[in-house]
Amino acid sequence: MNDLVFVENNRVLTDSLTIAEKFNKAHKEVLRDIDAQLLKINEANEGVWGLSNFAQTQYKHPQNKQFYRKYLLTEEAFVVVAMSYVTKEAMKMKIQFIQAFNELKQIVSKSALPQNQLESRIDSLESKLENQMTIDYGKQRKLQRAIGARVYRITEDKKQRSKYFRELYREIRDRFACTSYKDVRQSDFQDALVYVKGWTPKREY
């Protein structure tokens, strides 16, 4: 069962790639399911819980070496996402995941660090997440709306809008070193909003 869950910074986690593999789903389908659940969580004003149990990050594809997004999930987050997987085979897999979570949690608890070391590790994790975690679905939509508002404010010409959208998306990728506006780092989100709201095209089309 150790191929289902893993320990990272003293937390027992799984990720969206593992869920996709074990439930025989395309990774993009699992990402869609997670995004949908996070949207519902935010609509229920439980965004803090969502941030505590889901972490969007990136992985490098072994073939094309490009970076793509994935999610890290706690046991609670896994249960929220997997509750919609209702086939007999999916039910067996959910039970295996939960058993794996429980077994690894017991191992981690027996080898827990002293309190001062644990607090230091937590501080380090929070700093690392702030610098590496990409924005969640709600902030992706907020940034996307800001991009649309800026382009529509600059021109009413439909052809120009299309070119300005491409230019602005390209500049966001270059400026914030990401493959898509969806992959802007959490720590760069406010800077990205400010940049978009003050953006002007570099050339006329």
Express each pLDDT in 42-96 by its tens digit: 999 998 999 999 999 999 998 998 999 999 999 999 999 998 888 888 888 888 8
Task: Please tell me whether residues 88 and 146 are part of one structural domain.
Answer: no
DSSP 109-161: HHTPPPHHHHHHHHHHHHHHHHHHPBP-HHHHHHHHHHHHHHHHHH---HHHH
Positive or negative torsion for Cα 134, 17, 83, 9: negative
91 belongs to a structural domain: yes
Q: Which domain holds residue 190?
A: 137-197
Neighbours of 176 (CB within 10 A): 16
Q: What is the CA radius of gyration of the chain?
A: 20
Same domain for 85 and 161, yes or no, is: no
- Same domain for 179 and 105? no
Same domain, yes or no: 91 and 41: yes
Which candidate, 68, 80, 83, 78, places its Cα nearest to that of 11?
78
Q: pLDDT value at position 50?
A: 92
| Residue 67, C-beta contacts closer than 8 angstroms, at least 6 positions apart | 58, 59, 60, 61, 179, 183
Q: Where are the alpha helices (DSSP H) in the chain?
A: 16-22, 27-43, 47-53, 75-82, 88-110, 115-132, 137-154, 158-175, 189-197
State whether 99 and 170 are in the same domain.
Answer: no
**Number of domains, the chain:** 2
More confident residue, 204 or 77: 77
Q: Is 63 helix (H, G, I), strand (E, B) or coil?
A: coil
Indicate whether 1 pLDDT > 60.
no
- 61 falls within a domain: yes
In angstroms, the CA 1 to CA 99 distance is 8
Distance in angstroms (rounded) separating the CA atoms of residues 1 and 38: 27
pLDDT in tens, 129-184: 556 577 888 889 999 999 999 999 999 998 899 999 999 999 999 999 888 998 89
Token representation of residue 118: 């644990």
Same domain, 142 and 95: no
Last residue of a domain, which of 88, 121, 154?
121
> How would you classify the pairing of strands 67-73 and 11-15?
antiparallel
pLDDT per residue over 98-143, tens digit each? 888 888 888 877 765 555 554 555 566 556 555 657 788 888 999 9
17-31 residue pLDDT tens: 999 999 999 999 999
Residue 202 falls inside a structural domain:
no
pLDDT, position 88: 84
Are 28 and 70 contained in the same domain?
Answer: yes
Inside any domain, residue 164: yes
Per-residue confidence (pLDDT) for residue 132, from 0 to 100: 59
Asked if pLDDT for residue 185 goes beyond 90, the answer is no
Nearest to 30 by CA among 72, 87, 76: 72
Q: Name the pLDDT band for 200 (thresholds 50, 70, 90).
A: very high
